Structure 1
Amino acid sequence: MNFSLIAFIVALWGARFAGALKIWSKTTKKTLSYTADDIDRLGEDVARKRHAEDLYVGLSTQPHDLDSSARGSNDTAITLPGIVADIDFASAKNSEKKYPPDAETALALINTFPEKPFFIQHSGNGLHVVYAFDKVFVIGNREDRRRAQAILRQFGRRLMDHFKAAGYEIDNVFDLARVFRVPMSFNHKSGTPKPVEVIAFNPESRLDLAALERAVPPEDAPAPKQVATRLADHDMIAHDCPWYGYYTGDGAAAADEPNWYATASITARCKDGERIFHDYSARHPGYDGREARKKLERARTEAGPRTCEAVHSELGNEQFCEACPHRGTITSPVQLGYGYDPGPFGPRPLGFTKEGHFALLDPVRKIVILASAQQLLAEQYLLGLAESGFWRQRFPGRKPGSSNFRAAGEALMKACRRAGPFNPQRIRGRGIWLENGKVIVNLGQPVESSKFLYLCFEGIVLDDGPSFDAKRLRDHLKLYNWRNPQDAGLLFGWLAMAPICGALVWRPHAFVYGPARSGKTTIHTVASVVLSPIVVSADGQSTEAGIRQTLGPDSLPILLDEFESDDQNGSTLRNILRLARSASSADTPVLKGTPEGKAMSFSLRTTFLFSAINPRGMSPADQSRISMFELLMHENDREVAKRIAEDEAYFRTTGSAWCSHMIGLAHLVQPAADAVDIHLNGDRRHRQNMSILIGAGFVALNGRVPTDEEAQTLASEYAPAIERHALEVHRDDAQECLDHLLSHVVDGYPLGHWLASLRDEQSGRGNDFANAERIVANYGMRVNAEGEAAGFYVANGAPAMEEVFRGTPWAQKAWERALRKLEDAFIPPNPVQFKVLGKKRAIGMPLSYLPAEPLSLGAGTI
């Protein structure tokens, strides 16, 4: 056969394909990228490498600027020319699967399949079969990607069913990023190179793409799964049933025949039951393997598992049954081995907390619930978690149609204990996330993950509107009268990174400020419109607790307009700014109360856009994470005002196009920021802020990562703005030292909570006050809520402080020097009386540094 690799490429992908072909070397783990202009170079490289390396080509074209170690993925595919089937031979693969025995058998089945192949090659150990579309499928958005994957899955099912009808299996490897061996290369797997031989090349054989798409069931409905018979767990039964545990354990060697046969009726219904039955039966001196096998089969087929009543009354096992904690809650010991099965609709056990509560996932509402033992043993509470039919089916009561709710509650608690300690930081809510280098979109569709639990109580729907004109948004921001014109480009970068903030390792915030009628409200409105429906837009009078509880575990951007404050000391603003600081980095825990007054921590990932006339209450630590953009009074230019109004009206027609645009590019933003960062100078945090804003803006406009030369140009272009935004003061060491002290957790709460409790509750000594007084005293601290000496005090050299600051820059009493530098900190002229340490010299600080109020009690769900 006269075959040409170049002719094959042109016939399959087209002469002017979009994106790049990826040639991956399994030997070097490196990927080479070839655009439509590089095909001759591709042929030369393959000819040079094929004798020494295992070479694979990707089915879909991919972005040309991916890292050299990346082959591309389903999420980055640009065009799909067809479908590849990988058919292994049983003779070449050590597997329990029933692969076709050889090439002849596989080819016969390929030739009897209704769709005719475009290309077939012998890979050395199997066949690679390519089916080409009559036109290339172009993937322009997430809906295109979903449709393309659905076509691959549907075709794959048909081909697998065709082989299955003949008694054989093939692997389910039908995906966008599938690779197959480069034709006419060599397979080096088994030492001696085997040529990858072309068997058939039929360029005229094409699949009708439109017909394939019509054949896809609605929503690509999965085939119904077969429900397997449920088997019990022998170890669970032996642990919880004293009778069964004895006769299958220490008492097996002396068991009488009735009890032995009764245990067989239970063991026969356990996983690996036959082996377990013979293991404990063999301890008896009268054991006969053949007879034991017959007895086990009879126990399995002639009757059900022995009941608790029969074990107690008929077999005379009062010594075991009378004291059994499960007596009256189950009908047979075998039930103890089933544990708890949530199915698709029941509450799913997640673990337990050190405070004695149990964590459950409600799969219908997509929320996590913390419940007490008392709640889980209450019928009304369980009916709030699942309907009565669920409990009746899994935990039937003694009366027909009734449920044993006590048994259900105990099973839930036991399953939670078996799951182990509950870690709330594994919870992720709505938003765009990064997991193991892969972008995760959690807006309502199911998300599979072994590392995190993705929740979505209320889905966020992105419409399939037109593509977004990113340049128009960037140019719109330039219409405002900025003190520094380059701030328009940086704010554009914030709007670009905001929808995908959870997928970034660092999230800068933005603050737009200026006089009345300078355009702040219009900018806020435009930002709210283009970021809808992903954004959380709130009034500037919102509280830190309200924002935190509204956001929960979600990773969504937050807009706060009129970020002013009426309270005298500005504590509301400071608390929100402190929340923003914690949200910048990926894994900073924030504490949230539960109904029982215990603290639950989770990582807050969000980004803020503030707007106000005068920024207030900002410390240098805040400024290191918040980019300040100043507006000047507009110049009453009617033409500019008209264009701003026209743009605002236009953006209202674009729906969620901006969010969809950036979600599709989410995987490029962090690499773009990294490319810019290496060309920036100065403080690390400032570089992170600027590189994210600049990199995100470039990706939004160009749909790719900048080259090194482009990144260097961007850094030079924005150099004046970067210098202006650089920190004017060093990091506020004193404030960060105090933040560390106040966030140190004791008995489930930070020290700041306990100090605030003392400040607010010295007039009424309840249990909370007693705990606060004890904890604060043990840490060498005290609070004076009133009078000239009002403040909170830390004793010099307090031993507990060394534990608080161990491993930090403030260890070995450096915390004393740092705290003294706080604004309005004071040194009392005389020693202060401390409850545990006695009279000591101390550092005093104003009560305004404490939280405005102790941690509020939340809604009990995440």
Structure 2
Amino acid sequence: MSDDNPADDSGTANFSLSGFISEFWGSPFEGSLKVWSRQTKMTSSYGPGEIPRLVCDVEARKFSEDLYVGLSTQPDNLAPTARGSNETAIWLPGFIADIDFAVAKNSAKQYPPDSDMALGLVRSFEFQPYFVQNTGNGLHALFKLDKPIVMDSREARRRAQALSRNFARKLAAHFQRAGYEIDNVSDLARVFRVPMTFNHKSGTPKSVAVIAHNLENRLSLADLERDLPAADSEPPKTVSANRADHSTIQQECAWYGHYTGDGAASADEPNWYATTSITARCKDGDRLFHGYSAQHPGYNAREADKKLRRALEEAGPRTCDSICSELGNERFCDACPHRGSITSPIQLGMVYDPGPFGPRPLGYTKEGHYALLDPVRKIIILASAQQLLAEQYLLGLAETGFWRRRFPGKKHGTSNFKAAGEAIIKACRRAGPFNPLHIRGRGIWLENGKVIVNLGQPVESAKFLYLCFESIPLDDGPNFNAHRLRDHFRHYNWRNSQDAGLMFGWLAMAPICGALVWRPHAFVYGPARSGKTTIHTIASTVLSPLAISADGQSTEAGIRQTLGPDSLPILLDEFESDQNGSTLRNILRLARSASSADTPVLKGTPEGKAMSFSLRTTFLFSAINPRGMSPADQSRISMFELLMHENDREVARRIAEDEAYFRSKGSAWCSHMIGLAHLVQPAADAIDIHLTGDRRHRQNMSILIGAGFVALNGRVPTDEEAKALAAEYAPAIERHALEVERDDAQECLDHLLSHVVDGYPLGHWLACLRDEQQRRGNDFAAAERIVASYGMRMNAEGEAAGFYVANGAPAMEEVFRGTPWAQRAWERAIRKLDGAFTPPNPVQFKVLGKKRATGIPLAYLPDELLPGVEGPF
């Protein structure tokens, strides 16, 4: 700024946040201001009449959260996790500069050394800022326009973006002349720290201090628009053309390999210039071109540069026909294996570019398939090479124009689908083996200690691929009264009164179950008219729209297919033990797998191949009779028993009022807990150290108690509070503690049945053989061979029905290698299964001959085969 208008403290003495908002954005403004929290990753919206609420919220949150406000206003109806984008911006009051200090940032960039230097450069800039604040690690400078830009059309947004970009270039050039750099923050949706809050990034909070606030400083919008460069004055952009791989073209095209390799020193001008048209379009083309051109005795760097630019700007890459006929290269072209299938050598090195709408290569599977992401449908596709080389299949993945632009055919307006398929296959091979455990669906996740909300907005990650087939909208809604929900469960007649608090804790952890290291499940049971259905209804209401609600008739396969890679809670009502026992056991086994962090669960794809997802979910079961649970089930599921209610009309009235109240809150409970997701695991850890007993039981109780505390208080308990909570819930913890040993037998069998052979688990092959013997119409020729090769056989009928496992079967050692059941410990484990038996005489096995064996009841096998499989195999 000029000496007449100093920048140090002008206008800061009477600074107020509400006044600043009214002055900078105007009163009223269009759209909503968006305030985003780095800790919760949630965005709050405030309309023109809600500035007092914004100020109040900032005051309440600034001591524990890094708060940012968007430069442009955004629509009211964005999801609570969205900050908005360039394409949704509505009202732009000015521009921003984000100037980092070198002393505060470890970077190779030449940032200004400190605040004094940065502020001095801001003062000497041709345009004067309206507002400057010190964030603790840098400066935020705002430049206010004399009138806001209203972006009511795509054209208006493009114009606003051009103005912002041009202004940023001028400011960057000003700093560059002094020998320093600043970051480009010219996007319309840029956020900056809320004034007078705190910067918590560096441990000790730093005040975000206002150091300049001058109401008189304005930028003339008319002058800025006149100053915009003409569209044709922009320098030609060549970066987007540099996509092909030079080394691949060298290997695949003998002509190009010769003149850019051994023949470069003696190349004639026509062939050299022809190679230039291709090298110019390769990655790192400038360096490669000068590298081989310098081998020629007539090389001149300046003249070569002119040729390179001319080759890129004047025409496309040289065609095969031209190289062969015009340049006389028949000796190379006649023997070319690609002759007739490509139109130019450039196609050999084209790196497949899916863009925003094309199938994205993810890798390959050991079954010979190629994995692709369909970015439009947001699903994973496994395709064979034959499918990818077929025109009809590729047209099912992207529209005609996509393939025509990237892989043009010989005739104008056509596509080279064979080249497209080969490029996708090559890209999949380059991506390496496909690991489905790196696929994550909708829900709340934890990645490197950071909470990830995947409900519809794009999620960037270097480790996982986040999919969202159908977005889940959450409304901001009114604040949720967590105390009312906790008190609601006290209206029911629990056998143990403290179960009301534990049930509340389950509802608190359910929306964010994917972000937890351990996920306990809950089972509410009791006689008719005890309130089970009402609790199921309340849970479905407050967990909507995140929860998947179903009845007890659901199958394990149906649940897996519905859930896929998502991390969403599952509610199952009427989960009665008088139904198919095997079906219930399979679902309980699925719940056991879902408790731990990264347990893979096999899921059948439409092609019948096995895909493994990391299952992260939590179950709420309700039933009259919960019998049939194994010790392993009970160590992961908290059992809450209800007694008959006492027909108290006042209690019934309160429950009905609560139900109506919760229904009116929409998704407020889910939003409430998502905003606190980062606190739940630390709260559980704080409580766990004060608990004793079995590790799994401690995990169950600490998560339920910790989640409940966070839901009510919005913070992690202190050590004293954690100790008091452990003591308070000690009676309930003791009642729920079960003296159970690790269910070694069941886990050993689960490992055996899930071992994949020829694309399917052994449990599937055993079920195939069972169905064949019971004449259910399946004729799987491979099933008997595979089962026999693992030292097993099937006896599907009679008193001794079951599948038999030979003692000491060599293939079993491979199955259990590296597990607790190696070195024949698996034999002792499976003998402990309920119903396991030892045949009195040796059993005849097809591969091993007669051997002593263990028989296992058929009830342990899956009732249904994996989907998509048809006989004969």
User: Which residue number corresponds to residue 723 of structure 2?
Assistant: 712
User: Within 5 Å, which residues of 2 pair with 1:280-291?
Assistant: 280-282=292-294
Residue pair 2:603, 2:612 contacting (<8 A) in 1 also: yes
User: Counterpart of 1:724 in 2: which secondary structure?
Assistant: helix
Matched, 1:746 2:761: no
Q: Which moved more, 1:96-105 or 1:277-286?
A: 96-105
CA deviation after TM superposition for structure 1 residue 649, in Å: 1.2
Matching residue of 1:393: 405
Contact 1:778 1:800 survives alignment (8 Å): yes
- Distance apart, 1:369 and its partner CA: 1.4
For residues 226-375 of structure 1, what are the structure 2 equivalents within 5 Å? 228-231=239-242, 232-252=244-264, 255=267, 258-282=270-294, 296=308, 299-300=311-312, 303-375=315-387
Distance 2:455 2:64 in 1: 28
Q: Do structure 1's residue 86 and structure 2's residue 94 form an aligned pair? A: no
For residue 87 of structure 1, report the CA deviation from its aligned partner.
4.9
**Within 2, Cα distance between the matches of 1:600 and 1:207?**
63
Alignment partner for residue 483 of structure 1, among 483, 495, 508?
495
1:376 to 388, 397, 415: 388
Distance 1:227 1:580, change over 3 A: farther
Q: 1:736 aligns with which of 738, 747, 751?
A: 747
Q: 1:719 to 1:388 in 2, by over 3 A?
A: same
Supply the distance in 1 between the matched residues of 2:699 and 2:781 (Cα, whole angstroms): 45
1:533 aligns with 2:548: no
Cα distance in 2 for partners of 1:858, 1:439 equals 38
Q: Does 1:163 align with 2:175?
A: no
* Aligned-pair CA distance for 1:199: 13
Question: How many angstroms apart in 2 are the aligned matches of 1:160 and 1:295?
Answer: 33
Aligned to 1:684: 695
Q: For 2:738 and 2:423, how far apart are their aligned partners in 1?
A: 57
Equivalent residue for 1:600? Answer: 611
Could you tell me how far apart the structure 2 residues matched to 1:780 and 1:488 are? Answer: 51
Give the Cα–Cα distance (whole angstroms) in 1 for the partners of residues 742 and 135 of structure 2.
64
Structure 1 residue 612 displacement after superposition: 0.6
Partner of 1:437: 449
Q: Distance in 2 between matches of 1:589 and 1:555?
A: 13
On the 8 A contact 2:772/2:778 being kept in 1, the answer is no
Deviation at 1:317, TM superposition (A): 3.7
Asked if the contact 1:87–1:106 (Cα under 8 Å) also holds between the matched residues in 2, the reply is: no
Alpha-carbon offset, residue 325 of structure 1: 4.4
Question: What residue number does 2:524 align with?
Answer: 512
Distance 1:64 1:285, change over 3 A: closer
Distance (Å, rounded) in 1 between the aligned partners of 2:238 and 2:329: 36
SS of the residue aligned with 2:664? Answer: coil
Name the CA shift for 1:508/1:325 in 2 (closer, same or farther; >3 Å).
farther
Q: Is the 8 A contact 2:606 2:867 kept in 1?
A: no
Structure 1 172/278 Cα, relative in aligned 2: closer, same or farther at 3 Å?
Answer: closer
Please give the alpha-carbon distance, in whole angstroms, between the structure 2 residues aligned to 1:497 and 1:104: 47
State the shift of 1:397 in Å.
2.3
Is contact 1:65–1:705 with CA below 8 Å preserved after alignment?
A: no
Q: For residues 644 and 162 of structure 2, what CA distance do their matches in structure 1 show? A: 60
**Aligned-partner SS, 2:524:** strand
Deviations 1:464-504 (Å, cap 9, x if unpaired)?
Answer: 21111111111111101111111111010000000011111
CA displacement at 1:281 relative to structure 2: 4.2
Aligned to 2:536: 524
**Structure 2 counterpart of 1:267, which letter?**
T
Distance 1:397 1:337, change over 3 A: same
- Cα separation, 1, equivalents of 2:504 and 2:356: 43
* 1:648 lines up with 2:689 in the alignment: no
Matches within 5 A, 1:771-786: 771-786=782-797
User: TM-score, normalization: structure 2?
Assistant: 0.77
Structure 2 partner of 1:561: 573
2:133·2:139 contact (CA, 8 Å) conserved in 1? Answer: no
CA separation of 1:273 and 1:464: change in aligned 2, threshold 3 A = closer
Match of 2:806 in 1: 795
Distance 1:454 1:120, change over 3 A: closer
Q: Residues 357-415 of structure 1: CA distance to partner in whole angstroms, max 9, x if unpaired? A: 22111222222211222222222222222222222222222333222222222222222
Q: Equivalent residue for 2:817?
A: 806
Which residue type is aligned with residue 86 of structure 1? I
Of the structure 1 ranges 846-855 and 502-511, higher mean CA displacement relative to structure 2 is found in 846-855
CA distance in 1, matches of 2:192, 2:17: 14
Question: Once the 2 structures are TM-superposed, how far is the Cα of residue 706 of structure 1 from its aligned partner?
Answer: 0.6
Deviation at 1:328, TM superposition (A): 3.1
Q: What amino acid does structure 1 have at the position aligned with 2:447?
A: E
Could you report, residue by residue, the CA deviation over 1:172-200 in whole angstroms, capped at 9, with x for unpaired residues?
587667999999xxx9xxxxxxxx9x999
Q: Deviations over 1:214-239 (max 9, x none)?
A: xxxxxxxxxxx989432132123223
Within the candidate set 824, 837, 843, 1:826 is matched to 837
The equivalent of 1:106 in structure 2 is: 121
Distance 1:88 1:507, change over 3 A: closer
Q: Secondary structure at the match of 1:459?
A: coil
State the alpha-carbon separation in 1 of the partners of residues 162 and 680 from structure 2.
Answer: 33
1:813 to partner: Cα distance: 1.8
* Distance verdict in 2 for CA 1:298–1:534, change over 3 Å: closer
For 1:835 and 1:722, how far apart are their aligned partners in 2?
Answer: 52
Paired residues for 1:15-54 under 5 Å: none
Supply the AA of the counterpart residue of 1:616: R
Which residue does 2:50 correspond to in 1?
none
Residue 20 of structure 1 is matched in structure 2 by none
Please tell me the residue identity of whatever aligns with 1:115: Y
Q: Contact 1:373–1:413 at 8 Å: present in 2 too? A: yes
* 8 A Cα contact 1:117 1:132, kept in partner: no
Structure 2: stretches of 5+ with no match in the other structure: 1-7, 19-57, 70-79, 82-94, 145-160, 218-235
Partner residue of 1:140?
none
Partner of 1:849: 860
Query: Structure 1's 682 and 13: CA in aligned 2 closer, same or farther, altered over 3 A?
Result: farther
**How far does the alpha carbon of each residue in 1:750-782 deviate from its partner, in whole angstroms, 9 at most, with x for none?**
221221122112478999833322222222111
Count of aligned positions: 749
Q: Distance in 2 between matches of 1:834 and 1:632?
A: 54
Q: 1:170 to 1:842 in 2, by over 3 A?
A: same
Residue of structure 2 equivalent to 1:674:
685
Contact 2:63 2:197 in 1 (8 A): no
Aligned to 1:575: 586
| Of 318-327 and 762-771, the range deviating more from structure 2 | 762-771
Provide Cα deviations, 1:45-90, integer angstroms capped at 9, x if missing partner: xxxxxxxxxxxxxx99868689xxxx999999xxxxx999435589
Paired AA for residue 230 in structure 1: A
Partner of 2:230: none
- How do 1:494-513 residues align onto structure 2 when only pairs under 5 Å count? 494-513=506-525
Map 1:146-225 → 2, pairs under 5 A: 160=168, 163-164=171-172, 166=174, 168=176, 170-171=182-183, 201=211
Is this contact kept in 1: 2:687–2:723, CA < 8 A?
yes
Change in Cα spacing, 1:297 to 1:466, as seen in structure 2 (3 Å) is closer
Q: TM-score, normalised by structure 1?
A: 0.78
Q: Secondary structure at the match of 2:451?
A: strand
SS at match of 2:425: helix
Q: Which residue identity lines up with residue 340 of structure 2 in the other structure?
A: G
Instruction: Give CA-to-partner distance per residue, 1:141-166, whole Å, 9 cap, x none.
Output: xxxxxxxxxxxx99998984662474
Determine which of 660, 670, 673 is the counterpart of 1:659.
670
CA distance in 1, matches of 2:748, 2:607: 30
Identify if the C-alpha distance between structure 1 residues 607 and 301 changes in structure 2 by more than 3 Å, giving closer, same or farther. Answer: closer
Give the 3 Å change call, closer, same or farther, for CA 108–654 of structure 1 in structure 2. Answer: same
